[in-house]
Structure 1
Amino acid sequence: MDTIGLQLQRQLAGTVNINSNVIFDTIVNSYGAVVYNSVTGEIVINKAGRYFINWWVVTQSSIGPSNVTFSIQTSQGDNLIGNSPIKTGEVVGFAIIQVDSAPIALRLINITSNTVFYSTLVSIKANLVLGEIPEEVGSITGSTGTTGATGATGGAGPISINRIYVANFNSNDVSVIDGEINTVIATIPVGVNPAGVDVNTLTNRIYVSNINSNSVSVIDGLTNTVIDNIPVGTTPGEVGVNSSTNAIYVANRDTDNVSMISGLTDTVIATIPVGDNPNGVGTNSLTKRIYVTNQDDNTVSVIDGITNTVIATVPVGLRPFSIAVNP
Structure 2
Amino acid sequence: MTSSPLSPSRHVVLVTGMSGAGKTTVLKAFEDLGFEALDNVPLSLLPNIVAPPSDVFSDTTQAPRPIAVGVDIRTRDFAADTFIRQWRVLCAQPGVQVKVLFVNCGDEELVRRYTETRHRHPLAIDLPVLDGIRLERGLISPLLDITDIHLDTTGDTPYDVKSFLDHAFGDEHTDAGMAIFVTSFSFRKGLPRDADLVFDVRFLRNPHYDPHLKPLTGLDPGVQAYIEDDTEFAGFFANLSALLEPMVTRFETEGKSYLTIAVGCTGGKHRSVFVAEKLAAWLGTHHNRIRLAHRDMPTDAQAHVGPEQKPEQQQGNGKTS
* Length-normalised TM-score, structure 1: 0.24
Is the helix fraction higher in 1 or 2? 2
Higher relative contact order (CA 8 A, sep 6+): 2
Is the strand fraction higher in 1 or 2? 1
